[in-house]
Amino acid sequence: MNDYERVATTIRYLDQHQTDQPDLIELARGAGLSPFHFHRLFSAWAGVTPKDFLQCLTLEHVKMRLREGASVLSASLDAGLSGPGRIHDLCVTLEAASPGEMKSGGVGLKIAYGFSDSPFGNVLIGETGRGICHLAFVGEDGRDGATEALRREWPAAKFHRTDARVKKLASDIFVRPGSGRPSRPLRAFVRGTPFQLQVWRALLRVPAGSLVSYGRISRALAQPGAARAVGSAVGANPLAFIIPCHRVIRETGVLGNYQWDPIRKRAMIGWEISSLSAFRAKAAHMLQADAA
């Protein structure tokens, strides 16, 4: 069991026993670790203690981030930004396949693909000469199932496996918010309808640690009645984490479903919010120290 699986196990356990208010000892037992090792592992993964991480996933905290995300999205769209700029931790250039390229299924396209660990489990990444074309978390079907899904997406392409390149890409993609580590610009090459591309580009403007609702996105795109269509576009996202569909939740603050497992969505949201909260707390402490 890797670190993410232990964290996911902890979140599932809390879902089932939240009314019992399980303490550190009980959570550690569920993860198969001593309290000391569990606390150290969880804090290293989340950037904060288990208690603080779970506080980031409470309804009140999530609603606050939802309001913040709505204002950020409105500001960026009102400014007429054509790309994510520096608002997003990942500076992503999103290029769309032409209708002819979509119809051909990738004829003449060479895709390098492979597997890598990430803070949220094993991932499969595919990359063309024009950018990353696929990122998915490995699920119950295992690596074979994940590879087959990639081949179905680009049935006429030629594939070459290179785990070394994919591990480098994963290192550039999964950067902890507020870590101070500079992000590398990423290029993405995706198949999508014009509306899907609108939604995905809007998502690229939502920064880590902020959340938006389906309705907020539809209103920002001047299509207030299209919340359900936005949900479909979010569900068709071919680039997990890069296009941050995990930051889209319901107006009520309920986190909702996620095509790569709702538990993983909660882990992502908690990881981003808690990392930024820890960074801001540290920055505030340093300012106070300087003032003194």
* Same-domain pairing of 18 and 149: no
* Same-domain pairing of 19 and 136: no
Number of domains in the chain: 2
DSSP state of 243: S
3 state SS of 248: strand
* Same-domain pairing of 47 and 82: no
Chain position carrying tokens 């303490």: 23
* Residue 72 burial by Cβ neighbours in a 10 Å radius (0-12, 13-18, 19+): middle
Tell me the pairing of strands 248-249 and 212-213.
parallel
* Same-domain pairing of 58 and 71: no
Q: Which residues contact 180 (CB under 8 A, 6 or more apart)?
A: none
Does residue 94 form part of some domain?
yes
Q: What's the pTM value of the predicted model, to 2 decimals?
A: 0.87
- Token code pair at residue 77: 């769209």
Chain position carrying tokens 């209708």: 99
pLDDT of the chain, 292 residues: tens digit per residue = 788 998 898 888 887 776 777 889 988 988 889 999 999 999 889 888 888 888 888 888 888 888 877 777 776 666 554 443 333 445 888 999 999 999 999 999 999 999 999 999 999 999 999 999 999 999 999 999 999 999 999 999 999 999 999 999 999 999 887 776 666 789 999 999 999 999 999 999 888 888 999 999 999 888 989 999 999 999 999 999 999 999 999 988 888 899 999 999 999 999 998 887 665 555 454 555 555 5
Write down the catalytic residue from 56, 91, 133, 245: 245
* Same-domain pairing of 103 and 227: yes
Does residue 41 form part of some domain?
yes
* Same-domain pairing of 43 and 69: no
DSSP state of 239: B
For residue 119, the enclosing domain spans 65-249
Q: Does residue 56 have an active-site annotation?
A: no
Amino acid residing at 40: R
Partners of residue 161 on adjacent β-strands: 113
Tell me the pairing of strands 158-161 and 110-116.
parallel
- Determine the Cα–Cα distance for residues 123 and 118; give it in Å rounded to an integer: 7
* Same-domain pairing of 79 and 127: yes
Amino acid residing at 129: G
